[in-house]
A = this chain, B = another copy of it.
Amino acid sequence: MSSVKRTSEPQLLSSGNAHDLIDSVEAFLFDCDGVIWKANKLIDGVAETLEMLRSKGKKLVFVTNNSSKSRRQYVKKFQSLGISVSEDEILSSSFAAAMFLKVNNFSPEKKVYVIGEEGIIEELQLAGFTGLGGPEDAKKTADVYLDCPIEQDKSVGAVVVGLDRCINYYKLQYATLCIRENPGCLFIATNRDAVGHFTESQATPGAGCMVAAVCGSCEREPIVVGKPSTFMMNCLLKKFEFGCSKMCMVGDRLDTDILFGNSTGCKTLLVFSGVTTQSSLQDPSNDIQPDYYTAKVSDLLGLLGP
């Protein structure tokens, strides 16, 4: 994917350009971790900002690479933080993985082996697919010491790999057997984020860790459905009657959110409430530039008025 270089320098969000931005955009796409919340805490002013955007008739979509939850579970998380959203407004990489199978006419007769958490299993089920593995295999062990082979289900036609905090050798072996030995088996990654901030305390290995492990044993690269892959944009383009130029991707990560926005032709707004700092944006080694940057989402509120 080309990263569609911006010709102009990124602009600090100001009262002037914030009005231009809001006037030219019909949908705001928000990353969640580091933009809407940090771990389980809402970032200051987010609720009011979303309300203001809704009052101006803007569409909102929450586009997250975190596959641990389904859309239903994300709606509950938003509710627990006092924000009302509908499932329709959530585009998670767990859902995207199921949609990828759907739009590619994956046969519901075939099964899907999952290295990942509940979100993927639930979205597969809602899309009419049978997911194996995931939380169910959390306590399993591969008795390779005892020379007990694992018999992988020959009807597994796809392996989906996402964040899995119960990763183990059994799951890795099962996935490896499916990908290496079931003819035509797809290898789908929800995303490849190296680390995530799933709790307040520290960064922990992200889906990129589990995906790389499977790449390592299968000597194959996956199809990635999460950001910065443009697959999720295909889902959005089907949903809206307007094109990418009427959307603005708001995110805290250059290599996922901003790259995704730039490569699909969205406007892009980088916030510093997550993993990226102003100095890493301005570092000469960084070649991913947003259209706009600001400290946090609620700056929009201050600059535009309620």
Interface residues of A (CB under 8 A from B): 39-40, 142, 144-145, 147-150, 164-169, 172-173, 176-177, 180, 192, 194-195, 198-206, 208-219
Docked CA distance A89–B247 (Å):
66
Known: A145-B199, A149-B199, A168-B168. 9 other contacts (CB 8 A): A39-B147, A144-B165, A147-B199, A149-B202, A176-B195, A176-B204, A194-B217, A205-B213, A213-B216
Are B199 and A216 neighbours in the complex by a CB distance under 8 Å?
Answer: no
Docked CA distance A203–B209 (Å):
22
Docked CA distance A219–B193 (Å):
10
Give the residue of B39, B165, B201, B217 whose beta carbon is less than 8 angstroms from that of A148: B201
Are B176 and A205 neighbours in the complex by a CB distance under 8 Å?
Answer: yes
Of the A-B pairs whose beta carbons lie under 8 Å apart in the complex, a sample of 14, sorted by A's number, is A142-B165, A144-B204, A149-B202, A172-B205, A173-B204, A176-B205, A194-B218, A194-B219, A205-B216, A209-B217, A210-B216, A212-B215, A212-B217, A213-B216
Docked CA distance A209–B175 (Å):
12
Least CB distance from A195 to B in Å reads 6
Docked CA distance A216–B215 (Å):
10
Give the residue of B145, B147, B198, B218 whose beta carbon is less than 8 angstroms from that of A165: B145
Q: Which of A39, A164, A180, A203 lies at the interface centre, i.e. has the most chain B CB atoms within 10 A of its CB?
A: A203
